[in-house]
């Protein structure tokens, strides 16, 4: 039936499976796309192809996870000559759109505010307080996680309460109920609501599902491996009738399980849709043979996956470099040196990326890069919108759209300082609570103002200010932002601050005005509400700008979907990657492995995996073992090089040669010889260079690597006898203020810092510094 289609640009240069996916007609389609296999190309071509076969663009819905991916897809589809009008959204943006249309059916009123992570935590704390749940008992963050998980599963507070069997869970259930009540009062939704409410809407309203099914004849979902239950349901409902659902993804790149993403969704797609056509994209166009080989070998260690045979016609290229260092600083220095050398050899800075598991690692790297004058950028876009001054400004705007938004109101009521203090605010809150009226209404109440004497005058002035802003904000969005800045006094306060030589936070808020202008130009019908929604949905990943002319630093999570000619992954150490929290449950190690796999497969030509034998994190230096993932790589695709100094001969330990031979990880100790770099100077050896650390004697308590542990323990036992922890031994029962009763797994004394690992029934094993942690020994 597509005979009239010319083999146009749409089908040009596609390989066979790609072609098959693009030209698939009606019915469910699963595209299992390995890294670098041209997945985005397939999706965009498929969308264009569908339009070519007569499907109106506006009847196609494409769903992505990040705004960046959505924008990219739009751009490319338009580049293929397809008219605008296709629905290309993130799940969350789609949620906003549908809730603005149908939200009232699920208790979301027009003008609703989106509560971000920080806002929502405030509300959780408030709910905990209202329920009398003390935050020393249950961390607000943990409660928030539980609520989030419940929402992902569409569990209402009542349903959650039904499940709860422990004391803590019942407490969470109460908080959850209160939390929902507070959000409802304020007409606020959190990120999870954007999905959950839509899923509930679709579940409860067959007529709406029907309407939307007519609207969306084809549904395409990208990164399907990252969908959670709510997203799964949304995709399902939206394609219920026509069953034209095309999902693309890769189980091996599922890295958001901790946030509720369910890898089962993609693994069991064929069970959900028995007639699904499955296409595997296994040819990799991105990486060298060696890199791909290492990645394949690593991921083969996972059980929960769908087998794929990744292959490439690319050159084998250089081996994957695995570098070992004595400590984190060395690692950072050598990486910076290497980047500098690569740059001198003609490699653009923007060709290089450094990935790490946790943000905390970036500091040392930044330092080393800065010293050398190497430009770098950190992918942390949310940061901008999370700045205090930005959130303050947005607070004023949020109130305009949603007068019930109490979080925003409390934020701005005394920012900048206008003499409305804690006591006044507390009285207002009490009144609002007692009379069941919105805070803003109470604030506007002349009677209330009169009661408050001096403070009341200030309240009246504040109310007047809000009215003025409202007047001024009737015009264009950027005008509204400027009006807030000038009228509220924020501008004045920030100017003063800037003049006094502080951080230039004025520039940041001015940037917000620029962002508003840009928004006005981009969108056909700009509105303040829509502008705020967009800002609320900005994420880290959206801010990754590969063309910035700078080395990119980012977490492994943020790296998904990107590619770079040169990639460094740092901190490949047990406890860091895989992360220690994941090591507690063996299933999570698979996700850590996938995370590593994602990082590795971002590299096109050169890949460096590094680890240090000890690393300082949060001011504490700890010994670190090499990551198990380094052992799981295809060893023939890797080259192990040891740059660490004086390999562990302290106190007349083993000879160096012995150490080399005994090295279980197969590292080559580097003394004078260095890794080959085509046409370039070899690396400078750090070892013989009289580095500043060479002569520094480390305290033995900082070590703990295998054999060294014995030495420390011997020293430790002597120390232990006299310490308060003398009778704390493995097996001893203790109580932690938060985690409850646990049992000591191991205990290791040090100078003023006794470390111990304690296993808890419900929280797994955790390591503490006993002197610092709220831990007591159980009597008897």
Residue 359 in the binding site for DNA (CB under 7 A): yes
Of residues 382 and 715, the one with the C-beta less far from DNA: 382
Residue 621 in the binding site for DNA (CB under 7 A): no
411 as an active site residue: the answer is: no
- What is the DSSP track for 718-739? HHHHHSTTTT--TT-EEEETTT
Q: Are 551 and 589 in contact (CB under 8 A)?
A: no
* Least distance in angstroms from the C-beta of 255 to DNA: 7
Report the residue from 5, 382, 622, 709 that binds DNA according to the rule CB under 7 A.
Answer: 382
Question: Element (H or E) spanning 554, and its range?
Answer: strand 551-555
Report the residue from 137, 158, 523, 620 that binds DNA according to the rule CB under 7 A.
Answer: 620
* Least distance in angstroms from the C-beta of 65 to DNA: 4
Residue 558 in the binding site for DNA (CB under 7 A): yes
Residue 579 in the binding site for DNA (CB under 7 A): yes
Report the residue from 2, 84, 211, 363 that binds DNA according to the rule CB under 7 A.
Answer: 363
What is the total count of residues that contact DNA (CB under 7 A)? 44
Report the residue from 360, 450, 523, 724 that binds DNA according to the rule CB under 7 A.
Answer: 360
Residue 537 in the binding site for DNA (CB under 7 A): yes
Cα three-residue angle 674-362-336, rounded to 5 degrees: 30
Q: Are 46 and 304 in contact (CB under 8 A)?
A: no
**Tokens encoding 207:** 């007529």
Residue 358 in the binding site for DNA (CB under 7 A): yes
What is the C-alpha to C-alpha distance for residues 485 and 492, in angstroms, rounded to an integer?
Answer: 8
Report the residue from 20, 301, 508, 581 that binds DNA according to the rule CB under 7 A.
Answer: 581
| Phi/psi at 734 (5° precision) | -135, 170
Q: Are 362 and 555 in contact (CB under 8 A)?
A: no
692 as an active site residue: the answer is: no
Q: Are 172 and 164 in contact (CB under 8 A)?
A: yes
708 as an active site residue: the answer is: no
40 as an active site residue: the answer is: yes
What is the C-alpha to C-alpha distance for residues 74 and 561, in angstroms, rounded to an integer?
Answer: 16
Site string for DNA, 165-204 (x = CB under 7 A): --------------------------x-------------
**704 DSSP assignment:** -
Per DSSP, the three-state class of 266 is: helix
* Neighbour-count burial for 75-97, b at 16+ CB within 10 Å, e otherwise: ebbeebebeeebbbbbbbbbbbb
Of residues 90 and 326, the one with the C-beta less far from DNA: 90
Dmax (CA) for the chain in angstroms is: 89
Residue 424 in the binding site for DNA (CB under 7 A): yes
Question: Element (H or E) spanning 402, and its range?
Answer: none
* Least distance in angstroms from the C-beta of 231 to DNA: 9
How many other C-beta atoms can be found within 10 angstroms of the C-beta atom of residue 516?
21
**771 DSSP assignment:** T
* Least distance in angstroms from the C-beta of 407 to DNA: 14
Site string for DNA, 92-131 (x = CB under 7 A): x------------------------x--------------
DSSP bridge pairs for 88: 62
For 394, 726, 728, 756, 769, the CA distances from 732, given in Å and listed in that order, are 52, 11, 6, 11, 16
What is the C-alpha to C-alpha distance for residues 263 and 266, in angstroms, rounded to an integer?
Answer: 6
Question: Element (H or E) spanning 416, and its range?
Answer: none
Catalytic residue among 68, 186, 593, 602: 602
Catalytic residue among 18, 155, 253, 283: 253
- Footprint on residues 669-728 left by DNA (CB under 7 A): none
Report the residue from 276, 455, 506, 535 that binds DNA according to the rule CB under 7 A.
Answer: 455
602 as an active site residue: the answer is: yes
With a CB cutoff of 8 Å and minimum separation 6, the contacts of 26 are 242, 243, 244
Of residues 292 and 558, the one with the C-beta less far from DNA: 558
Of residues 450 and 737, the one with the C-beta less far from DNA: 737
771 as an active site residue: the answer is: no
With a CB cutoff of 8 Å and minimum separation 6, the contacts of 632 are 297, 298, 301, 593
Residue 134 in the binding site for DNA (CB under 7 A): no
- Footprint on residues 746-775 left by DNA (CB under 7 A): 772-774
Report the residue from 19, 58, 259, 437 that binds DNA according to the rule CB under 7 A.
Answer: 259
* Least distance in angstroms from the C-beta of 663 to DNA: 29
Per DSSP, the three-state class of 708 is: helix
Catalytic residue among 223, 318, 445, 590: 223
Residue 254 in the binding site for DNA (CB under 7 A): no
Report the residue from 303, 422, 453, 699 that binds DNA according to the rule CB under 7 A.
Answer: 422
Q: Where on the chain is the footprint of DNA (CB under 7 A)?
A: 65-66, 90-92, 117, 139, 191, 258-259, 357-360, 363, 382, 414, 417-424, 455, 537, 539-541, 555, 557-558, 579, 581-582, 618-620, 737-738, 772-774
Residues serving a catalytic function are: 39-40, 222-223, 253, 602
């Amino acid at each position: 039936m597509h005979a009239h289609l010319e083999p146009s640009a749409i089908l040009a240069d596609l390989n066979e499976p790609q072609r098959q996916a693009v030209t698939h007609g009606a019915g469910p389609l699963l595209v299992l796309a390995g890294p670098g296999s041209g997945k985005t190309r397939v999706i965009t071509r498929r969308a264009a192809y569908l339009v070519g076969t007569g499907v109106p663009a506006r009847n196609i819905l494409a769903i992505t996870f990040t705004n960046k991916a959505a924008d990219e897809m739009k751009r490319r589809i338009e580049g293929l000559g397809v008219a605008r009008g296709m629905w290309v959204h993130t799940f969350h943006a789609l949620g906003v759109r549908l809730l603005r249309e149908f939200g009232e059916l699920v208790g979301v009123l027009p003008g609703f505010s989106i509560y971000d992570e920080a806002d929502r935590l405030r509300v959780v704390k408030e709910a905990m307080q209202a329920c009398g749940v003390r935050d020393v008992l249950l961390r607000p963050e943990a409660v928030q996680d539980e609520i989030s998980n419940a929402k992902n599963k569409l569990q209402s507070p009542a349903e959650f309460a039904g499940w709860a069997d422990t004391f803590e869970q019942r407490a969470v259930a109460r908080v959850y109920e209160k939390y929902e009540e507070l959000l409802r009062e304020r007409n606020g939704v959190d990120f999870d609501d954007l999905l959950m409410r839509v899923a509930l809407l679709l579940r409860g309203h067959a007529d709406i599902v029907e309407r939307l099914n007519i609207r969306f004849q084809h549904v395409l979902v990208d990164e399907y491996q990252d969908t959670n239950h709510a997203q799964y349901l949304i995709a399902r409902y939206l394609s219920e009738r026509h069953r034209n659902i095309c999902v693309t993804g890769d189980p091996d790149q599922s890295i958001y399980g901790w946030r509720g993403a369910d890898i089962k969704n993609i693994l069991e797609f064929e069970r959900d849709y028995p007639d699904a056509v499955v296409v595997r994209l296994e040819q990799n166009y991105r990486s060298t043979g060696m890199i791909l080989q290492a990645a394949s070998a690593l991921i083969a260690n996972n059980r929960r996956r769908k087998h794929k045979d990744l292959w490439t016609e690319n050159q084998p290229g250089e081996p994957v470099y695995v570098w070992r260092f004595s400590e984190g600083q060395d690692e950072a220095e050598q990486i910076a040196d290497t980047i500098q050398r690569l740059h001198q050899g003609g490699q653009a800075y923007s060709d290089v990326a450094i990935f790490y598991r946790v943000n905390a690692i970036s500091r040392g790297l930044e330092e080393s890069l800065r010293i050398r004058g190497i430009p770098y950028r950190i992918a942390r876009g949310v940061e901008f919108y999370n700045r205090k001054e930005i959130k303050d400004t947005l607070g004023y705007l949020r109130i305009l759209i949603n007068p019930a938004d109490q979080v925003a109101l409390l934020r701005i009521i005394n920012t900048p300082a206008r003499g409305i203090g804690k006591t006044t605010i507390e009285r207002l809150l009490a009144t609002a609570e007692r009379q069941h009226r919105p805070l803003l209404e109470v604030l506007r109440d002349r009677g209330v103002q009169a009661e408050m004497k001096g403070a009341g005058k200030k309240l009246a002035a504040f109310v007047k200010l809000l009215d003025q802003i409202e007047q001024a904000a009737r015009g264009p969005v950027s005008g509204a932002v400027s009006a807030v800045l000038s009228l509220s006094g924020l501008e004045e306060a920030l100017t003063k601050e800037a003049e006094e030589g502080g951080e230039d936070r004025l520039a940041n808020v001015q940037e917000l005005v620029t962002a508003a202008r840009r928004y006005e130009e981009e969108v056909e019908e700009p509105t303040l509400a829509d502008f705020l929604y967009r800002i609320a949905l900005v994420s880290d990943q959206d801010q990754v700008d590969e063309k910035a002319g700078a080395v990119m630093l980012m977490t492994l999570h943020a790296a998904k979907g990107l590619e770079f000619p040169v990639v460094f992954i740092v901190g490949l150490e047990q406890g860091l990657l895989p992360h220690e929290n994941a090591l507690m449950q063996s299933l999570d190690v698979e996700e850590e492995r996938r995370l590593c796999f994602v990082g590795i497969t971002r590299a096109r030509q050169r890949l460096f995996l590094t680890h240090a034998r000890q690393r300082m994190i949060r001011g504490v230096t700890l010994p670190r073992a090499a990551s198990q993932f380094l052992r799981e790589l295809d060893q023939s695709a890797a080259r192990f090089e040891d740059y660490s100094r004086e390999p562990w001969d302290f106190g007349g330990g083993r000879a160096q040669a012995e150490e080399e031979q005994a090295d279980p990880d197969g590292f080559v100790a580097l003394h004078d010889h260095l890794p080959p770099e085509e046409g370039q100077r070899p690396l400078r050896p750090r070892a013989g260079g009289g580095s500043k650390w060479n002569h520094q004697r480390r305290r033995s308590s900082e070590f703990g690597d295998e054999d060294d542990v014995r030495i420390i323990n011997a020293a430790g036992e002597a120390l232990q006898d006299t310490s308060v922890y003398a009778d704390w031994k493995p097996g001893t029962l203790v109580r932690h203020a938060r985690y409850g009763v646990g049992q000591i797994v191991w205990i290791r004394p040090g100078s003023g810092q006794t470390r111990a690992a304690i296993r808890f029934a419900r929280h797994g094993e955790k390591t503490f510094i006993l002197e610092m942690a709220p831990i007591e020994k159980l009597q008897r």
